[in-house]
Chains A and B, each alone.
Chain A
Amino acid sequence: MPEENPPLRPLIPGITAQFPQDVTVLPRRKDMLAVLKVTPARVAEVAKYLRDVGSFEHCALVSGVDWVDHLEVLYHLWSDSLKGYIELTVDLPSEDPHVPSVTEIWRGANWHERETWDMLGVRFDGHPDLRRVLMPEGYQFHPLRKSFELHEPEELEVKARHV
């Protein structure tokens, strides 16, 4: 909460004033300066605000969680001047999840978003090259979804061939 974080005191009211409908301040978690819940449509703008005004210049992590009834995309942002992380969470529907890409804001988010797409099937709109990272091209599934079932090796039909 802002009261517990003197370095964030000007920032959190500023961002809630800037995006009153889209940003909710959640209770703090361990090792986080603050946790903000953002609506999917305004993620890129909130992230740009945090980078330019809030000095969170390093995007440490883009990842996701499958909560079965919905998906959650996480952004961990690091500030060198504040010496701490801030966390953005975005709730998405399980069916056809879309979220704006932050690759234009932090170049390092490129492969993080590709991995999140590969493992959880979250589409990042505006990503320059949204391909799979860990699984080969042509793979049909998003294996970190809870609905994904492991196949038995004996039943596996190998279609690998020279490309």
Chain B
Amino acid sequence: MSDSETSGTSKIITHVREADAPEPEVPFAEIEIVQSKEFIPVVKENLTGMIQRGMEAAVKPVFNWAGRNSLFPLHWGLACCAIEFAAGFGARWDGERFGVVPRSSPRQCDLLIVNGTVTWKLSHKLITLWEQMPEPKWAIAMGNCATGGGPFRTAYSVVPGVDKLVPIDVYIAGCPPRPEAMLDGILRLERLIRERRG
């Protein structure tokens, strides 16, 4: 059954029985395919395409809704912004009520929050972490250092803005931004995802 389904017409012809051969004990469905060998594949192709397109149209908003309401940021801290990041997921601000749960492995994350000063020495690690995250993924530059280098903008060792390394979706100003500013940035990113992929 599965053989004749997956391959083309030539495979189906082999199932036509000889004139003097004994009647084979085959399932009903296979006889159906043999008898209507030109009609069935066309219908099947149309049907699967229709189902696929319909499923995509039906499922995409569901994935979008599920994805944007369960953004998992990477749990890493670089500087004082990481303190605000940690406070944002503590009891007082409780970022988990938006479905935002920091995860410790980049393989489980779809959101990179760069919270702190990135030096040139660290830039390779930042790019590695970004590339280890599965698609679809987003990035937030949190604080002035990640946005544009901050007070260390002209220093010899500091990257003047992480958008030179990874594509950034939302910039959060502040030195450091308060936890509610970080949560506001995440909610703005959720709105972006809804508008962009809806």
List residues of A whose CB falls within 8 A of some B CB. Answer: 134-136, 139, 141, 143, 148, 150-153, 156, 158, 160-163
Contacts and interface: CB of A to CB of B under 8 A. Distances in A.
Given A153-B153, A153-B154, A160 B164 contact: yes
B179 interface: no
Contact of B160 (A134, A135, A148, A153): A153
A151 B124 CA distance: 21
A134 B155 CA distance: 13
A136 B120 contact: yes
Q: Which 8 A-B pairs have the closest CB atoms?
A: A153-B160, A143-B156, A158-B164, A160-B123, A150-B154, A136-B121, A136-B120, A162-B127
Contacts of B128: 162
B84 to A, nearest CB: 25
Contact of B127 (A134, A152, A156, A161): A161
Interface in B143-178: 148-149, 153-157, 159-161, 164-165
B131 interface: yes
B154 A135 contact: no
A160 B153 contact: no
Nearest to B120: A136
A152 B160 CA distance: 10
Contacts of A153: 148-149, 153-154, 160-161
A153 B148 CA distance: 9
A136 B155 contact: no
Contact of A135 (B148, B157, B161): B157
